[in-house]
Structure 1
Amino acid sequence: MTNLPDAPFSARNRGAHRQIDLDFPITAKIGLSHLLLDLINRDFISNWTTVANELQRIARIPPIEYETSKVASYQLAKKHAQEALGVLHWDKTYDFCERLYSYLAKEIGYNQYDEYHVVTSKSEVQAFIASGLQRLFAEEELAFEFKDGLVLRRGRRHTVDITTRAQVVLGDSRLLGARKHYDKAMKFFRERTNPDYENCVKEAVCAVEAAGKALFPTAKATTLGDLAKWLGNTKEVTVPKTLAQITTAIYAYRSGGQGVGHGGAEGGAATAEVAEYVLAVCASQIIYFVDVSNPPESDVVF
């Protein structure tokens, strides 16, 4: 996976903010044009003709044949590429970013004495493109990240960190069922054009429930609510009652949230902010359950 740069100062300095969703603003497109120019100058992608034809394909504009050997034709390709990018719908622009990484990126090398030498591998070029796109997304406050060649719904830095940790913990073979639920929750949240926040919440809470049942079989819990009651009263593990109430709270929202579960309509809408909060809380709950179920061994007294 590409090691992506930290957010630039302008993004860090803004602090808490609402990210731009369902849009790829003109300023971001200008930034993308600068990245394209840099990539062409470095020979990381072929030329403006290739860029223009790919943008025309994505935008369903009839293809135009250019003669790269002629300056006027090449300049026309650059003009058409910029025009096509300017009118490209926001979701199609993200499609272009993925194609820029997967299709337009190319290896750099040369032939010498009938032997081909690689100067810059395609994977290195792709790493450079991914870094540039990630920085652009951060500078423009876009609600997405570029990861492993795909545009994904990002979430705040804390959410990304805690969900990543939870997914590592969910590698435990006992938690296969919980992992399936949490992966579904992440997929619903990260869907670019039509995120499903209601099902994101439902699957995230189901992941906590599945993890709890697997880690605490003696609780014989049927629901997460049952497990929360057991955690608050059992002496088998040490969980403060107030922390057990967090489990009760997320289960209550899963049951009563608008459109989330059991036909609930009075618990409030599952917005992007709510879904992200529940994802983070559920990740923390799973990590905590694993820690509680595996207490550190006592020191042996000699």
Structure 2
Amino acid sequence: MKDLFSQRYGHQKKKMLSPQEMPDGLRNRLWNIIKFIMEKCKKSGNVGVIIAKIWDAFFKKDLDEIKECSLDRALENKIKPLFFSLKWYEVYNFIEFLIQEIKSIHLFTSAGITWLHEILISNINKIFEEEGVPYKIIDDYVTPFISEVEIEEIEKALKIDDKYEPVKKHLSGAIELYSKRPNPDYPNSIKEAISAVESLVMIITNGKSNKLSDLVEKLNIHKALKEAIKKLYGWASDEGGIRHGEKPTPSQIGQEDACFALAICSSIINYVISKYNLNSNKK
């Protein structure tokens, strides 16, 4: 949505919410898209399954309470009041739960082309942007906002070939730990990001090494660039004892550190795969 008159002419500045803010307008818009997706699910015949899972697995309520309800009544009279009573971080829990449930049953729209899972994510990300929410859905998780360039690198690394599945698994783990609310685990997020790089090296070297430095030496790149990659990776894996639990204490490792590690490790993964494949094709 384009800026309105008051924003274009400086009468009203676009506000960025704090990470813990959940104003009524944002909650209303999130509920509207949830309801929209549920309406789409009706056409597939799977909405009853999703509502039952929300009631049982998310809210942990007695299924007998909604057994005799119509789908519309269960959604409006049962789930909606509970959604509007959730704490700010529980709203994001709900969104992640719904995204993953819809993805798990492989629902399509009536056109049979676009995944409802993707429609839900794209609409929520649009709402986040318009409402000034400092989060974005990445890899099905509500993730603290990262720059668009960094997001592109992370998403690209998550879409690498299936032969690098262990790499993607560690990277997803890093995102999950980084995104945990209300208590993110930044130190272990960094460790998972590091493990993603080491898994890549193990795969490319056929298990002979997990050291990035061994692989970088084999790449046909300038010596200064080799050293830069080693130093950047060294910051994440050794500097301050992030890897080994030495100094500093975990409480001193913040969001900025974990965000940097995620972005750097993703960039290294993408770069090494690109260079390795290029060099392999020349042989």
TM-score w.r.t. length of structure 2 = 0.61
1:197 counterpart residue number: 186
2:259 counterpart residue number: 276
1:143 counterpart residue number: 135
Local SS of the residue matching 2:142? strand
Report 1:1-302 matches (<5 A).
Answer: 8-9=1-2, 20-35=18-33, 84-97=82-95, 102=101, 128-140=119-131, 141-145=133-137, 150-153=140-143, 155-169=146-160, 171=161, 173=163, 175=164, 178-212=167-201, 214-215=203-204, 223-224=211-212, 227=214, 231=217, 237-257=220-240, 259-265=242-248, 269-293=252-276, 294-295=278-279
For each residue in 1:98-148, what CA deviation from the matched residue of structure 2 results, as whole angstroms up to 9, or x when unmatched? Answer: 566658xxx9xxxxxxxxxx9677x8766654443332233231424176x
RMSD: 5.1
1:113 counterpart residue number: none
Give the whole-Å Cα distance in 2 for the aligned partners of 1:136 and 1:93: 14
Is this contact kept in 1: 2:167–2:196, CA < 8 A?
yes
Go from structure 1 to structure 2 and tell me whether the alpha carbon gap of 1:37 and 1:278 turns closer, same or farther (over 3 Å shift): closer
Go from structure 1 to structure 2 and tell me whether the alpha carbon gap of 1:87 and 1:250 turns closer, same or farther (over 3 Å shift): same
Go from structure 1 to structure 2 and tell me whether the alpha carbon gap of 1:256 and 1:34 turns closer, same or farther (over 3 Å shift): same
Give the whole-Å Cα distance in 1 for the aligned partners of 2:127 and 2:36: 13
Q: Give the AA of the match of 1:241.
A: A
Local SS of the residue matching 2:247? coil
Give the whole-Å Cα distance in 1 for the aligned partners of 2:205 and 2:53: 54
Local SS of the residue matching 1:153? strand
For each residue in 1:62-117, what CA deviation from the matched residue of structure 2 results, as whole angstroms up to 9, or x when unmatched? Answer: 9699998xxxxx8xx968876544431123323443566658xxx9xxxxxxxxxx
Give the whole-Å Cα distance in 2 for the aligned partners of 1:152 and 1:282: 20
Go from structure 1 to structure 2 and tell me whether the alpha carbon gap of 1:261 and 1:21 turns closer, same or farther (over 3 Å shift): farther
Higher helix fraction (1 or 2): 2
Give the whole-Å Cα distance in 2 for the aligned partners of 1:21 and 1:92: 13
Is this contact kept in 2: 1:213–1:221, CA < 8 A?
yes
Local SS of the residue matching 2:238? helix
Q: Give the AA of the match of 2:142.
A: L
Cα displacement (A) at 1:251 = 1.5
Give the whole-Å Cα distance in 1 for the aligned partners of 2:52 and 2:202: 54
Cα displacement (A) at 1:272 = 1.9
Give the whole-Å Cα distance in 1 for the aligned partners of 2:165 and 2:222: 24
Larger Rg over CA atoms:
1
Go from structure 1 to structure 2 and tell me whether the alpha carbon gap of 1:201 and 1:95 turns closer, same or farther (over 3 Å shift): closer
For each residue in 1:190-235, what CA deviation from the matched residue of structure 2 results, as whole angstroms up to 9, or x when unmatched? Answer: 4454432212212222332443455468xx76744x538x73xx7x
Give the whole-Å Cα distance in 1 for the aligned partners of 2:157 and 2:143: 17
Go from structure 1 to structure 2 and tell me whether the alpha carbon gap of 1:185 and 1:44 turns closer, same or farther (over 3 Å shift): same
Give the whole-Å Cα distance in 2 for the aligned partners of 1:81 and 1:42: 17
Local SS of the residue matching 1:182? helix
Local SS of the residue matching 1:152? strand
Is this contact kept in 2: 1:153–1:192, CA < 8 A?
no
TM-score w.r.t. length of structure 1 = 0.58
1:48 counterpart residue number: none
Give the whole-Å Cα distance in 2 for the aligned partners of 1:88 and 1:59: 10
Go from structure 1 to structure 2 and tell me whether the alpha carbon gap of 1:18 and 1:270 turns closer, same or farther (over 3 Å shift): farther
In the alignment, structure 1 segments of 5+ residues that lack a partner are 1-7, 46-51, 69-73, 108-117
